[in-house]
């Protein structure tokens, strides 16, 4: 996060520590609610999370 903030590849949305914990928390809790065989495929959460993270952090410049 710090490097991305420094080189401008990430937009600053919070402190690097809080953003990193948020991303890791989102990914690390998937096992608590994701149930294989339900409406979502195994790829759905990953694709959704990737889009959320990249869109949320991507620098507009």
Q: How many domains does the chain have?
A: 1
| pLDDT digit string, tens, across residues 10-61 | 999 999 999 999 999 988 988 888 888 777 777 788 888 889 888 888 887 7
Region label for 37, one of left (φ > 0), alpha (ψ between -120 and 50) or beta (otherwise): left
Q: Which residues constitute the domain of residue 35?
A: 2-57
Q: What is the pTM of this model?
A: 0.71
Tell me the pLDDT tens digit for each residue of 44-56: 888 888 898 888 8
């Amino acid at each position: 996060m710090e490097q991305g903030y420094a080189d401008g590849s990430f937009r600053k949305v919070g402190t690097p520590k809080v953003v990193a914990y948020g991303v890791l928390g989102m990914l690390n809790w998937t096992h608590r609610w994701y149930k294989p065989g339900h409406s979502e495929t195994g790829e759905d959460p990953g694709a959704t999370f990737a889009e959320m993270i990249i869109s949320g952090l991507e620098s507009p410049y």
